[in-house]
Chain A
Amino acid sequence: MDALWDLLRHVHDAYGVNLVHFYDGFERGRLLRGIWTTVKLAAVCIAFSILIGIVGAWLQTSRQRILKAAVKVYIQFFRNTPPLVQMYFFYFALGPQMPRVVNDFGVPQPMFGSFEWAVLSLSFFAGAFNVEIFRSGVEAVQKATVEAADSLGLSRWQIYRYVVLPLAVRICLPALNNNLVNLAKTTTQAYAIAVPETLFVASQIWSDRINVLEMMVTLLTFYLLLVGVFVWAMTRLERRLRVPGFGQ
C-alpha cells in the first residue's frame, strides 16, 4: 500500500495530478469516513423507506376512508414537491421546534442532528414512491390467491403478511430497485444540511487542497461504483426471487 501512496505522491510532484485524498493519511481518513456515512445513510434510508412503503400499502387496503385519504395526501405531497425543499423544511423549520435533550457533557442539544433529519426527510420522500410501488404489486396479486387464503381462515393482516406481501414484493422488485437507486443518489442532497457524507467531505477536500478536478473525478467514480454494485446486487436478487410462470 505504502508503495502505491509513494507512487501517487510522485505523480503529484512530477505531473501535477493531485491525488492527495489517496496518499495523505488525514485526507484519506476523511474521505473514507464520508464514504462510510454515505453508505450508512443510504442503508438506513432504504430500510425506513421500505418500511413506510409496506405500512402505507397496507393502510391503503384499509376500509377506513380517512386513513386511505391521509396516505393519499402524504403520497401526493411528497411526490410533487422538491426533495431539497422537503429536507430544508424538516431541518430548518421542524428542527428548531423539537425538544432539546441534555447530552453526556451536560450541554443541551437538539434531539435530532442533521444526519437524523436527512434520514427522516429522505425516507419519507422515497417512502411516498414505495407506497405506490408496493400498491401496484399488491394489486397485481391474483384475487383467487387472496380468496384461497381467506377461505383458510387467515385474518386480514395474516393474508397481507404471509400471502400478498411476499408475492407483491417479488412482482414490484424492478420498480422498487429503480426507486432505491434514485434514493441512493439523492443522499448527496444531505450535503445541503451539512451531513458529512461523501460529497460534503469531497467539497471540503477540494477547498483545502485545491484539487477540484481530481477530487471530482474520484467522486463521480465512487458514485458510479456505488450505484453499479447496488444495481448488480439487486438484479441478482430479482433473478433469485422471480415468480415462476410470468414473462418469458
Chain B
Amino acid sequence: MTTGSVPAPRLTPRWFATAALLCCAALAAGEAGAQLQAAGSRPGVLATLWKWTPLVLFGPPREFGGFALNIAVSFLAMAIGTLAGLVLGLGLVSTLAPVRRLSWLVTQFFRNSPWLVLLFFVMLLTPFQLRIAGVAIPLPGWLKATVGLSLPIMANVAEIVRGAVNSIPTGQWESAESLAFSRLQTLWRIILPQCVKRMIPPWMNWYAILTMATPLISIVGVNDAMTLTQDALAAEQRSELLIPMYTLLLFFFFVYCYPIARWTIQLERRYAVRN
C-alpha cells in the first residue's frame, strides 16, 4: 500500500446542484399552487417549510428529537453493533467448534430477519424499566429502538470481521506461529491490525444503511424526523404542503448519506487489493 495524502472526498457538486434544483422545482410548484389557492391570508409554502425546519431538524424545544435524534441513534446503534459484532465475528473464526457454530447461528438469525420485525421484538418484549437492587432504571423508547437497530448491524459487522480475517494470507498466521505468538497475540497484534483497512469501507456502507433505517423508529413511536414531519403536516392541514415537506425530509437524509457513500467508494478504491 503506497502512502499518499488522503484525497478529500469528492462530493461532485453537480449532483448536489441537481438535487437542490429538483427540490426548488417542487417548492416552486407548491408555491405557485399556494399563491393561486390562498386568498393572501395564509403564508406561502416556503415560509411554512422554513417555520417547521427547526422542529424537524432538532425536535421540540427543550426536548431531544428530530433529525438530530436520527443521527444520535445511528451513532449509538453503530457503536453498540460494532462492539458486539467484533466479539461475534471473532466467535465466527474461533477454533472451538461449539463457539463457531453458535456464533454462526446468531449471525444468520440476525442477518436474515427483517429490521422492522427485530425492532418490534425489542420494543414490545423488553420492559419499560429495569429494577436493579431496588433502583428503577427507566428504558426510554429511543434507547430500546437503538438496541433493536444495532442487532442486524452486529450480525453484519461480524460477517465483515470474518471476511477480513479470512482474507489475510495463511502465511501471516504461520509466520506468527513460528515466532511463538499465541493465538490471541497473533489475532490481536498481527491479523486484526491488517483487517482494519479492509473493514472500513463495508463498515461505512453499513453505517449509511443504518442511518437510512433510522426512520423505522417512527413506526414504534419515537419522536424522530419522520414523526415530526407528519406532526407538522397534521398541524398545517394543507394538502399542497405534502410534496414539499416529504421532499425536504428526503433531502435532509440525502445530504447526510450521499457524501458518506461517495467517501466509501473512494476508500474502497484506495484500499483495494492490487493483484
- A-side residues, CB < 8 A to B, are 69, 72-73, 76-77, 79-86, 88-89, 92-94, 96-97, 181, 185-189, 191-192, 199, 203, 206, 212-213, 216, 219-220, 223-224, 227-228, 231
A206 and chain B: residue at smallest CB distance: B124
Is there an interface contact between B112 and A224, defined as CB atoms closer than 8 Å? Answer: yes
Is there an interface contact between B239 and A96, defined as CB atoms closer than 8 Å? Answer: yes
What are 18 sample pairs from A and B whose C-beta atoms fall under 8 A apart? A79-B261, A80-B212, A82-B211, A82-B250, A83-B212, A85-B253, A88-B230, A88-B246, A89-B243, A181-B112, A185-B112, A186-B114, A187-B114, A188-B117, A189-B216, A191-B116, A199-B120, A224-B109
Is there an interface contact between A93 and B246, defined as CB atoms closer than 8 Å? Answer: yes
Is there an interface contact between A84 and B125, defined as CB atoms closer than 8 Å? Answer: no
Which residues of chain B have C-beta atoms less than 8 A from A93's C-beta? 242-243, 245-247
B112 and chain A: residue at smallest CB distance: A227
Q: Per-position contact with A for B238-275: 1 when CB-CB < 8 Å, else 0?
A: 01001101110110011001100100000000000000
Is there an interface contact between B212 and A81, defined as CB atoms closer than 8 Å? Answer: yes
Separation of A73 and B15 alpha carbons in the complex (Å): 7
- Specify the main secondary structure of chain A where it touches its partner: helix
- B-side residues, CB < 8 A to A, are 15, 18-19, 22, 109, 112-117, 120-121, 124-125, 208, 211-216, 218-219, 226, 230, 233, 239, 242-243, 245-247, 249-250, 253-254, 257-258, 261
B15 and chain A: residue at smallest CB distance: A76
Which residues of chain B have C-beta atoms less than 8 A from A76's C-beta? 15, 258, 261
Which residues of chain B have C-beta atoms less than 8 A from A89's C-beta? 243, 246-247, 250
CB of B122 to closest CB in A, whole Å: 10
- Specify the main secondary structure of chain B where it touches its partner: helix
Which residues of chain B have C-beta atoms less than 8 A from A227's C-beta? 112
Separation of A120 and B211 alpha carbons in the complex (Å): 22
Partner of A82, one of B15, B117, B212, B242: B212
Scoring B125, B212, B226 by chain A CB atoms within 10 A of each residue's CB, the highest score goes to B212
Is there an interface contact between B254 and A81, defined as CB atoms closer than 8 Å? Answer: yes
Is there an interface contact between A189 and B116, defined as CB atoms closer than 8 Å? Answer: yes
Is there an interface contact between A80 and B109, defined as CB atoms closer than 8 Å? Answer: no
Partner of B250, one of A85, A191, A199, A212: A85
CB of A195 to closest CB in B, whole Å: 13
Is there an interface contact between A188 and B116, defined as CB atoms closer than 8 Å? Answer: yes
Is there an interface contact between A185 and B246, defined as CB atoms closer than 8 Å? Answer: no
Which residues of chain A have C-beta atoms less than 8 A from B230's C-beta? 88
CB of A17 to closest CB in B, whole Å: 15
CB of B255 to closest CB in A, whole Å: 9
Separation of A77 and B19 alpha carbons in the complex (Å): 8
Which residues of chain B have C-beta atoms less than 8 A from A213's C-beta? 125
Is there an interface contact between A92 and B120, defined as CB atoms closer than 8 Å? Answer: no
Is there an interface contact between A203 and B250, defined as CB atoms closer than 8 Å? Answer: no
Separation of A203 and B116 alpha carbons in the complex (Å): 12
Scoring A76, A79, A82, A189 by chain B CB atoms within 10 A of each residue's CB, the highest score goes to A82
Is there an interface contact between A77 and B114, defined as CB atoms closer than 8 Å? Answer: no
Is there an interface contact between A82 and B114, defined as CB atoms closer than 8 Å? Answer: no
CB of A246 to closest CB in B, whole Å: 16
CB of B201 to closest CB in A, whole Å: 15
CB of A128 to closest CB in B, whole Å: 12
Separation of A82 and B219 alpha carbons in the complex (Å): 14
Known: A81-B253, A88-B230, A191-B219. 13 other contacts (CB 8 A): A69-B18, A72-B15, A80-B261, A81-B250, A81-B254, A85-B253, A92-B233, A92-B242, A191-B116, A216-B121, A223-B112, A223-B113, A223-B117
CB of B133 to closest CB in A, whole Å: 27
Which residues of chain A have C-beta atoms less than 8 A from B116's C-beta? 188-189, 191, 199
Separation of A88 and B215 alpha carbons in the complex (Å): 11
